Amino acid sequence: MERRQAIPKDTNGARGFLLMELAVSLPIFVLLLSFLAFAVVWSWRSYQNEIADAELRQEMQIAAARIVESALLSDHIGERQRGVYEMEQETYGAQISRGARERYWLSDGRLVLNAVTSPITGAFSGAGVHIKAFSVREDALHPRLYHIEMRGMSMVTGRTYSLATSVYLREDIGGK
């Protein structure tokens, strides 16, 4: 005689319970994953924007510090031609001779020192720093007082950052 194995009968109507569970939980799981993906993408974009803005501020501050240092060491600041500012340091000794000159100007949105091949801004492509304005103006009322202003923009975020400072040139030295 052949023995038949008894197939267990459904108890309490549990048949298809796994399928029903999947049908309900899968859309909820997909919805949660969608929210998670959105949060990750939003966080990454926010991070990149913060890095770009920080780089804009940093490049502008470094350039401004370099220009102010040049101005503080200079005996004369002049605009050689429109937009090209020249800071001259004379050396004194037995005879007075022409000293070092540093020239600053804008070239294609970059601030340049002495040669187009050596820009002092725009090195980090992730920020897309573009200098919109740069000027060195002598104060009309106070001789030897110069106002230095810069305005830059991040091409990544579209935000602008401005710096302005004033510098007194050093007094004549060497008995002059």
CA 40, CA 114: separation in Å to the nearest integer?
A: 44
CA 147, CA 164: separation in Å to the nearest integer?
A: 7
Positive or negative, the Cα torsion across 107, 110, 112, 117? negative
Q: Strand, helix or coil at 5?
A: coil
CA 130, CA 155: separation in Å to the nearest integer?
A: 7
- Of the pLDDT bands very low, low, confident and very high (cuts 50, 70, 90), residue 176 is very low
- Of the pLDDT bands very low, low, confident and very high (cuts 50, 70, 90), residue 174 is very low
Closest-CA residue to 76 (of 6, 8, 173, 141): 173
pLDDT at 32: 96
CA 22, CA 24: separation in Å to the nearest integer?
A: 5
pLDDT at 95: 47
pLDDT tens for each residue of 87-126: 887 765 444 445 578 889 888 888 888 877 777 777 666 6
pLDDT tens for each residue of 38-93: 999 999 999 999 998 999 999 999 999 999 998 988 888 888 888 889 888 776 54
Residue 19 corresponds to which tokens in the numbers above?
Answer: 């399928």
pLDDT (average), residues 22-48 = 94
